[in-house]
């Protein structure tokens, strides 16, 4: 009676024995992934499982819903799903969940550009420890951050997520960012690798960059971040680089990233795969995000056809498993969904306050005494931008605005004026809700305030504060008119307020709540003070108020140049500040392809070397106190030198100073910038009269330039001038260092 089933079972067992994979998979059902049995688990996986592991998964039943992406789970082998969430200014998860009355708001930290304005890797690490802790408690395994593409042109729509025009500053800040987040056991993904310096046609744009500019400017910051931050993952970008998609570029992802720089982690695509998945995996792209069945099928077909060898597939799967065993989900970390948002808000406020840049402060207009009657102008005083839009956005429970921040700091605001702006803002919001239109991608229309009203306000108040705002984000670049340039209503507001208040001997302060460089030269001398908080996070308005009142002495410095004219920028003619879709597809300069004709001449390298005046230079920022720079000392070491310099607070209030060390290479050989940033350091808070001795180390490799003809980094022998500056154009002390023997580092 039982013969039939038994017979069938016999056949089944025989079949299983014949198919080693299924057989071993069946035996391996009991194997659970551990950090010390990856090879064994790998052997137990079927080819289909291996291919699935390389492709992102949908959020079905995901532990943490509505995040950017997930990796594939293989429960029978103890391989959990892992959770990948944006973004650079804080964890981006939905604040509400179906079936839950709990909220899941996150902290809106300062955006990347403000973070870099701190010039303080220690502060950055402190801030991102809080960010990493928040990610951990919300069940995130990798924070898709930092964004760190070079500010090639101020109109890039995502510059606010990124750090600087200079690769050293960008790389050092990125490395500190990564160390802070990863100290909490959560991974980072430095992005977007590489040469993703515009949003126009970002999925297809071909960045055409010379090898030298690529090495010295667009890869150098990633090289520093990888070598000094050790990110768990790198995100390749959407765009092409010199004709090939970066996600399929073996030289970029394997030869340079892994073989030259020693990166041992995981490379994932940005959120979209190109036509050939196998090519991406063979190039060194391990994880295909966000992933779908088509990618899995393509990979399986590539393995079955031999286009992707089993050996290569296993090598990549091994890397993914090495990543998984590091993750909180693998470690079954009992995340609470209750991060310490209160503490993180204070961390965000302090980080913002330590990074905000004071651009102008005539006749010590600032700080105010506190308690003054303030006429607060500008729609952005109530519609204050904490972060930008797109994947860099953060769902915060609240973003403080300047009205509440100044009142909370003890200033008395002109109520007619604040009510006027509140009312108009409410009307604009209603209109947008009715029309379901998002705000203009760049700013809100600036409401008019009549001269008559300003005259009345000037009588009733002690000081005027004008807040100007700009917003931008992923998927679109900024534009020149009414974006980089101020709008006519903004200009009129500045002119009228300045004219009326100065007539009665009162001062005018401007606050730039912006996500990218704007034109300043034509109007800055109309006003008495200018504060630059960029998009400073949910508590940033309070940080601005702290600076206005003098609770905090500003110590931020510009991480990029503010040019006098947009066209002074070396990339101006090669940046698509408008969608010129008129041309023939494939031939649209700036859209289909962008020639980086300026080469290494980016930012201060261009302006200093070619002696072009700027509105505010790289590294510039004022303080409420003054500093004296002592005579630097240079000590040659085994490899390079260590420079020390003593800085003294010669003013009347405590403060911090950032000393920038620029190096000018000896003449001859490659054409080089007049000087380049090679190190920087920030003092502790110095009391009046107190000194701090800063130490900066520069290696021989740090001094090297990339020589295309020898395909090598080269540090030539000779005398190098060392310039210690408070900005790129404010050199306080100089000395020199002699390289006795030339050195070269050929690339692979
Ligand atoms: C986006 C962005 C990237 C982000 C990813 C996931 O397209 O380019 O920065 O991390 O998708 O949201």
Q: Token pair of 626, please?
A: 């003054």
Q: What number of other Cβ atoms are within 10 A of residue 401's Cβ?
A: 24
Q: Are residues 323 and 379 in the same domain?
A: no
Instruction: Tell whether 564 is covered by a domain.
Output: no
Q: Token pair of 273, please?
A: 């795969």
Q: Name the residue range of residue 233's domain.
A: 33-331
Instruction: Identify the residues whose C-beta falls under 6 Å from ligand 1.
Output: 68, 86, 144, 191, 270-271, 391, 474
Q: Specify the ligand 1 atom closest to the Cα of 271.
A: 11
Alpha-carbon Rg for the chain in angstroms = 28
267 CA distance to ligand 1 middle (Å): 14
Task: Indicate which residue's Cα is closest to atom 6 of ligand 1.
Answer: 68
Instruction: Tell whether 574 is covered by a domain.
Output: no
* Residues tagged active-site: 270
Instruction: Tell whether 179 is covered by a domain.
Output: yes
Q: Which residues contact 667 (CB under 8 A, 6 or more apart)?
A: none
Q: Are residues 242 and 361 in the same domain?
A: no
> Is pLDDT of 113 > 60?
yes
Mutate to test the pocket of ligand 1, among 59, 148, 273, 474 (most ligand atoms within 8 A of CB): 474
Q: Are residues 302 and 420 in the same domain?
A: no
Instruction: Tell whether 347 is covered by a domain.
Output: no
Q: Specify the ligand 1 atom closest to the Cα of 272.
A: 7
Q: What is the pLDDT of residue 3?
A: 44
Instruction: Tell whether 656 is covered by a domain.
Output: yes
Q: What is the pLDDT of residue 1?
A: 35
Of 56-65, 104-113, 399-408, 411-420, where does mean pLDDT reach its minimum? 56-65
Q: Mean pLDDT of all residues in the chain?
A: 93
- Helices 220-229 and 167-182 pack at an angle, to 10 degrees, of 30
CA 295 vs. chain centroid, Å, equals 29
Instruction: Give per-residue pLDDT as tens, 290-308.
Output: 999 999 999 999 999 999 9
Instruction: Tell whether 575 is covered by a domain.
Output: no
CA distance 115 to 536: 9
34 CA distance to ligand 1 middle (Å): 30
Bridge-partner residues for 357, per DSSP? 532
Write the CATH number for 461.
Answer: 3.40.50.1700
CA distance 469 to 533: 11
Q: Are residues 368 and 314 in the same domain?
A: no
Q: Specify the ligand 1 atom closest to the Cα of 290.
A: 6
Q: Are residues 4 and 82 in the same domain?
A: no
H helix or E strand, kind and range, residue 422: helix 415-435
Q: Are the C-beta atoms of 236 and 289 separated by less than 8 Å? A: no
Write the CATH number for 739.
Answer: 2.60.40.10
Q: Are residues 407 and 501 in the same domain?
A: yes
Q: What is the pLDDT of residue 62?
A: 74
Q: What is the DSSP letter of 640?
A: S
CA distance 390 to 392: 5
Number of domains in the chain: 4
Q: Are residues 327 and 399 in the same domain?
A: no
Q: Which residues contact 396 (CB under 8 A, 6 or more apart)?
A: 90, 105, 106, 107, 108, 386, 538
CA distance 153 to 566: 9
Q: What is the pLDDT of residue 579?
A: 54
Mutate to test the pocket of ligand 1, among 93, 144, 148, 246 (most ligand atoms within 8 A of CB): 144
Q: Are residues 360 and 327 in the same domain?
A: no
**pLDDT band at 438; cut points 50, 70, 90:** low
Mutate to test the pocket of ligand 1, among 70, 71, 85, 86 (most ligand atoms within 8 A of CB): 86
CA distance 437 to 451: 32
Q: What is the pLDDT of residue 61?
A: 65
Instruction: Give per-residue pLDDT as tens, 18-48.
Output: 444 444 444 444 689 999 999 999 999 999 9
Q: What is the DSSP letter of 583?
A: S
Write the CATH number for 226.
Answer: 3.20.20.300
Q: Are residues 738 and 647 in the same domain?
A: yes
> Is pLDDT of 201 > 90?
yes
Q: Are residues 364 and 313 in the same domain?
A: no
> Is pLDDT of 330 > 80?
yes
> pTM of the full predicted structure?
0.95
**Residue where a domain stops, chosen among 487, 517, 552:** 552
Instruction: Tell whether 568 is covered by a domain.
Output: no
Q: Are residues 10 and 64 in the same domain?
A: no
| SS3 per residue for 509-528 | EEEEECCCCCCCCCCHHHCC
Task: Indicate which residue's Cα is closest to atom 1 of ligand 1.
Answer: 271
Instruction: Give per-residue pLDDT as tens, 479-537.
Output: 999 999 999 999 999 999 999 999 999 999 999 999 999 999 999 999 999 999 999 99
Q: What is the pLDDT of residue 742?
A: 96
Q: Specify the ligand 1 atom closest to the Cα of 147.
A: 9
Q: What is the DSSP letter of 665?
A: P
Instruction: Tell whether 480 is covered by a domain.
Output: yes
Q: Are residues 311 and 417 in the same domain?
A: no
């Amino acid at each position: 009676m039982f013969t039939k089933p038994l017979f069938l079972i016999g056949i089944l067992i025989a079949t299983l024995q014949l198919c080693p994979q299924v057989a071993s998979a069946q035996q391996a059902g009991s194997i659970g992934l551990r950090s010390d049995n990856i090879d064994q688990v790998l052997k137990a996986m079927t080819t289909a499982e291996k291919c699935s592991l390389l492709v992102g998964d949908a959020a079905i039943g995901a532990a943490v819903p509505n995040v950017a992406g997930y990796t594939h789970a293989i429960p029978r082998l103890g391989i959990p799903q892992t959770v990948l969430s944006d973004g650079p200014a804080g964890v981006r998860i939905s604040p509400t969940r179906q079936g839950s009355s709990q909220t899941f708001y996150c902290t809106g930290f300062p955006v990347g550009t403000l973070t870099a304005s701190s010039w303080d890797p220690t502060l950055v690490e402190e801030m991102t420890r809080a960010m990493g802790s928040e990610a951990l408690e919300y069940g995130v395994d990798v924070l898709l951050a930092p964004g760190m593409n070079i500010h090639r042109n101020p109109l890039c729509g995502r510059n606010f997520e990124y750090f600087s025009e200079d690769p050293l500053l960008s790389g050092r800040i990125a490395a500190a960012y990564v160390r802070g987040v990863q100290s909490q056991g959560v991974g980072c993904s430095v992005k977007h690798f590489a040469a993703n310096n515009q949003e126009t046609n970002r999925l297809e744009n071909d960045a055409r960059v010379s090898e030298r500019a690529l090495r010295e400017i667009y890869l150098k910051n990633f090289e520093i971040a990888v070598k000094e931050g050790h990110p768990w993952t790198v995100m390749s970008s959407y765009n092409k680089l010199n004709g090939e998609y970066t996600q399929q570029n073996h030289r970029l992802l394997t030869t340079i990233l892994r073989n030259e720089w020693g990166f041992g982690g995981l490379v994932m695509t940005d959120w979209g795969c190109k036509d050939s998945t196998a090519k991406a995996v063979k190039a060194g792209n391990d994880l295909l995000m966000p992933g779908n069945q088509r990618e899995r099928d393509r990979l399986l077909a590539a393995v079955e056809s031999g286009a992707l060898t089993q050996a290569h597939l296993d090598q990549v799967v091994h890397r993914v498993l090495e990543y998984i065993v590091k993750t909180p989900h693998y470690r079954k970390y009992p995340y609470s969904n209750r991060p310490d948002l209160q503490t993180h808000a204070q961390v965000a406020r302090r980080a913002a306050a330590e990074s905000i840049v004071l651009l102008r402060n005539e006749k010590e207009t600032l700080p105010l005494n506190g308690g003054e009657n303030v006429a607060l102008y500008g729609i952005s005083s109530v519609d204050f931008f904490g972060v930008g839009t797109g994947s860099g956005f953060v769902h915060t429970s609240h973003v403080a605005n300047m009205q509440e921040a100044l009142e909370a700091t003890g200033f008395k605001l002109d109520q007619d004026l604040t009510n006027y702006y509140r009312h108009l803002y409410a009307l604009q919001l209603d209109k947008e809700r009715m029309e379901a239109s998002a705000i203009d991608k760049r700013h809100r229309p600036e409401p008019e305030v009549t001269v008559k009203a300003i005259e009345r306000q000037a009588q009733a108040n002690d000081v005027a504060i004008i807040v100007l705002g700009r917003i931008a984000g992923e998927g679109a670049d900024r534009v020149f008119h009414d974006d980089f340039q101020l709008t006519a209503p903004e200009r009129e507001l500045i002119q009228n307020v300045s004219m009326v208040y100065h007539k009665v001997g009162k001062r005018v302060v401007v606050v730039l709540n912006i996500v990218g460089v704007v034109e300043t030269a034509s109007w800055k001398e109309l006003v008495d003070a200018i504060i630059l908080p960029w998009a400073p996070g949910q508590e940033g308005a309070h940080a601005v108020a702290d600076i206005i009142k003098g609770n905090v002495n500003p110590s931020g410095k510009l991480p990029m140049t503010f040019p006098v004219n947009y066209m002074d920028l070396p990339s101006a003619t090669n940046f698509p500040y408008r969608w010129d879709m008129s041309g023939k597809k494939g031939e649209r300069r700036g859209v289909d392809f962008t020639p980086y004709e300026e080469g290494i001449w980016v930012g201060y390298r261009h302006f200093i070397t070619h002696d072009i005046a700027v509105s505010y230079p790289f590294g510039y920022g004022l303080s409420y106190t003054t500093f004296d720079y002592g005579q630097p000392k240079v000590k040659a070491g085994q490899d390079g030198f260590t420079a020390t310099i003593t800085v003294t607070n010669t003013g009347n209030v405590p403060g911090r100073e950032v000393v920038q060390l620029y190096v000018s290479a000896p003449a001859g050989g490659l054409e080089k910038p007049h000087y380049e940033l090679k190190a920087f350091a920030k003092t502790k808070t110095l009391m009046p009269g107190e000194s701090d001795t800063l130490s900066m180390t520069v290696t021989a490799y740090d001094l090297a330039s990339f020589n295309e003809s020898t395909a090598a980094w080269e540090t030539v022998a000779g005398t190098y001038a060392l310039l210690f500056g408070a900005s790129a154009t404010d050199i306080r002390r100089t000395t020199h260092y002699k390289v006795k023997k030339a050195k070269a580092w050929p690339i692979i």
